[in-house]
Amino acid sequence: MRHRSVVAFVVALLLMSSAGFGQGQSRSEKYSIGPFGATGEVVGNCGTFDVKVDYVALITGNLVYNKSGQVVNDVGHFRVIGESLYYNSENPPKL
């Protein structure tokens, strides 16, 4: 008798967990933006001059949609390609 109760409990638990997994079906979509760059973008101020930057970057990510088609998660990565160059706005040769 006890064996049947345990088996029935396990079967019920498996049925409930499979129904729960079916509820959360979603789809995902990868995306990529770039490469794109910036030249002379101001990133800071040091008293009498601005600090500017030149860079080339790429954004990649993954969108996750729910069953209704609404975005529920967006994980993005910003990656600089090559080197970033920071310089003085008043005297650009000063890096």
Indicate the SS3 state at residue 67. Answer: coil
Q: Which residues, at least 6 apart from 39, have a Cβ–Cβ distance to it below 8 Å?
A: 54
Identify whether the C-beta of residue 90 lies closer than 8 Å to the C-beta of residue 48: yes
State the pTM of this model. Answer: 0.54
Output the tens digit of pLDDT for each of the chain's 95 residues: 455 554 455 455 555 544 444 455 678 999 999 898 888 889 888 888 899 999 999 999 999 999 888 889 999 999 999 888 888 888 777 66
CA distance 52 to 43: 6
Rounded to the nearest angstrom, the gap between the alpha carbon of residue 20 and the centroid of all alpha carbons in its chain is 26
Would you mind telling me the total number of residues written for the chain in this entry?
95
CA-CA-CA-CA torsion sign (82, 88, 91, 95): negative
Cα end-to-end span (Å), the chain: 81
